[in-house]
Every structure is written in structure tokens, then in C-alpha cells.
Amino acid sequence: MYIIYRAVCFLMLPFIFFRLLFKSRSDKNYLYNWSERFGFYGVDSGDYRFWVHAVSVGEVVAASAIIDGCLAQYPNDKIIITVMTPTGRQRAQRLYADNDSVVCAYLPYDVSFSIVKFIRHFNPKILIIMETELWPTLLRVVGKKNIPIMLANARLSARSCRSYARLRSFSRQVLTGISYIAAQSRQDARRFAFLQGGEKKNIVTLGSVKYDLALKKLGAVAPDARVEGEKNFIALSTHPGEEEQIFLAFKNIKAKHAKARLILAPRHSYRAESLMEISKSSYGFRSEFYSKLSNNCSGLDVVLVDKMGVIASLLKMAHVAFVGGSLIDKGGQNPIEPAAYSLPIIMGPSRYNFNEVTRHMSEDGGLFMAEGSADIVSMVNNFFDNPQQARLSGEASYNNVMKYLGATDKHMQYIKKLVH
């Protein structure tokens, strides 16, 4: 099976250029640094003790907890972060712009010669892969080089597990060389064990580092900016197919609460321009890009977030949060950050990416499920009409975050075991 996989990857290489060109239509950054995707790097070579791989923005943010831990405990060592997307690269570069010990590059495509070139260039001693980024050739080549591997903050949804299970013997081979699988939950741990044929000795359940990150961010932004009399509804990490439902819901919310404001932060900020057209032309909302605001949002119906790294400040203004990727079949985005800001949270029914997190939050009374725009209208209006209930639900979501702190320190204990 592995031979077939290698052959398919190699034969696909010519088509990769067309894929990058296609993606560059929406994000021109896909046109840059192509050589890195094949193992050729302009970054200085050298010994990078820690190699941390994170697919895109969400994984990069999660990885920052572990990277910061490594920098604190091993200040003389260098770290190479690899990503797959331009937005992930930009976030990593922004996070560590002032630290010469950390560099960022694209992960090579999953063919042997590219992976080998990467390893020769950076000479990493430990590979830390965030969440569930399992590339067979990468794991095989790294294993042959005797580089220990940790799958950190690991999660495996029931859907993904079923997909991997169709090739269970191959999946077992892929997972064999991993030193530690640090699962977020017991359910994740059980699914990884199933794919390994019941083997559990390399699996540990450490929780999610995203709880620690959310609390860290909470202490790093300005004090609460919620203004009495305002009613701010923030919709985070939305995808195509969701924004129309959010706009429709907000139109009906405005019918009851004239001073209500929508803060809309699409999953990919470059989409803000097209959403601005919909907001103004289709709904007649008084709208502006966040990047063009001066001090406040007064007089606006909709604020469209068109830049990265500002969500924490916006959450301080919000009264109710919707978390995207959940009204369509995307599995939901991360609800932990708005929970840390004591917000009542609304999500759609698709939440398999954060099934354990959302279940706990729902049980505690901090998260509520909406089937569509009508439910969103009802829930947001209810919270606007009953600020005491909104406060209690927000406290429940915050207390849920506090329950699950400490995963970063647990990860560092296992990383220490791999350092030699």
C-alpha cells in the first residue's frame, strides 16, 4: 500500500503547480516560496532542535503554546515551524517576528526527496506535529532518521477515524513510528488506539493546549470594552454558506433591537471584501472594514473584520458569540476563545472537530445549538432581552475553560523525555 501511495504522490507533482495557481486567485501568496514545497530553502541551514509542524492558522496558534514552552526551557535551541498555507505562515511569522531562534517555512510535499532535503538542511532533533497532520512519507523518512515524533494536541473525530479505518493496516503502519500521541480527550485516545490495533502504550491523554492559550490571551488585551446600551453580536470563523444565514438572522435581530451591531470575522479575512458587497447591496447595512475604523463603531450596523490578530479585542466588545464552520458540514471552529471572554456561545449542528469541547460546554450551560438562522435570531434576541441570563451563560462558558487548564505543562513533560 505504501508503494502505491508513494507513486500517486510522485505522479501528482505536475498538477500541484496548477493547484497553487488556482488557489492564488483568492490568495496571491500561494504564488510565493514554491521552492520550499519541494525542499529548497533560503533560510540558513543549521541545527534546529525542535521541528514543529502546524497546518494553518488554528494549528499555528495552538502550536505557539508548545513553542513558547520550548523557548522557555531550552533558550539556546532553535525552532523551525512548518506550515501548509500562506495564512499559517503569516501568523507564525507575526508571532515570532522578534525572535531569531524561530523561523518559519512551508512543509515540503510528501515525497521522499523533498523530506530528505528538508532534514539535511535543518537537521531537526525532534518533530512535534500538531493535532492530526499524518503524512505517511514524512513519518516514514523521519522515523528512519531516528528522529522522535510527538503528535501533540492530537484529535481524531469519529468521521476521520472511520475514513482511516478503511485502510486500517496502512494507518497502523503510519502511526507505528510515533513516540507519543498526546490525545486531547479519552475519546480521541480510544480512536487512535483502535487504528493501532488496540496498541495504547504510546498514547497519553493530556487535554487541549487551547484552553491555556485562551486564558493567556485574556490577560494580554485591554479591559472589558462592553458598553452599556450596546448590543454586539460577533460571528467568528464563518465560511461560505454561513454568512448569508448570519446576515439574514441579523436583519431580523435588527427589527427588534435597532441598536444591535454585527461583528463578522470570516475564517479567511481576504473574503471580507466580497462580504462587504453583500452586506451593503443585499441588506442595506451601514458597514465598514475593521481596518478603516478609528476609535469606535458608532453608527455602524456591521463591522467586517479584514485583518488578523484582532479577535481578542473584538471579543471584549461582544455580548453574544456565534462560532462558524458549524452551520455547514465543516465540523465547527474553536469555541474556547470566546468562552474565555465569558460570552454565551451559539454554534450550528456540525461540531465534530470539537465534539468533546462543545459537549462539555453545552452541559455546563455556556453553549447552545442552532439549526439555522431562525434559531440564531431567537437565541440572540433572548440574550439581548435578558442580560442576566447572558451573564450567567457567559460565566458558565468561562468556568468551563478554567476546568481544563494545564495541558501545555503536561505536553512539556513528555517533550522533555524526547530531548537528548
pLDDT of residue 269: 87
Domain 2-9+16-208+406-418 sits in CATH 3.40.50.11720: yes
Computed over its alpha carbons, how large is the radius of gyration of the chain? 22
- Using alpha carbons, select from 105, 100, 99 the residue that is nearest to residue 119: 105
Residues of the chain with CATH 3.40.50.11720: 2-9+16-208+406-418
For residue 59, indicate whether it is catalytic: yes
* CATH classification (class only), 220-403: alpha beta
Per the residue annotation, which of 36, 59, 131, 133 is the catalytic one? Answer: 59
Strands (E), 131-230: 149-154, 180-183, 203-205
Nearby residues of 54 by Cβ (< 8 Å), 6 or more positions away = 60, 62, 63, 81, 82, 83, 88, 92, 130, 133
Q: How far apart are CA 305 and CA 127, in angstroms?
A: 34
Strands (E), 74-183: 79-83, 102-106, 126-130, 149-154, 180-183
Residues of the chain with CATH 3.40.50.2000: 220-403
Note whether 191 and 156 are within 8 A (CB).
yes
Note whether 233 and 376 are within 8 A (CB).
no
Average pLDDT of adjacent 10-residue blocks, the chain of 420 residues: 79 82 83 89 86 93 96 95 94 93 94 94 96 91 95 93 86 90 95 91 95 81 63 96 97 96 93 94 95 82 91 91 97 94 96 92 97 97 96 96 96 94
Question: What is the distance in angstroms between the CA of the first residue and the CA of the last residue of the chain?
Answer: 34
Torsion of CA 173, 175, 180, 186, to 10 degrees: -130
3-class DSSP assignment, residue 251: helix
Note whether 208 and 336 are within 8 A (CB).
yes
Grid coordinates given for 238 = 464563518
Q: How far apart are CA 317 and CA 230, in angstroms?
A: 9
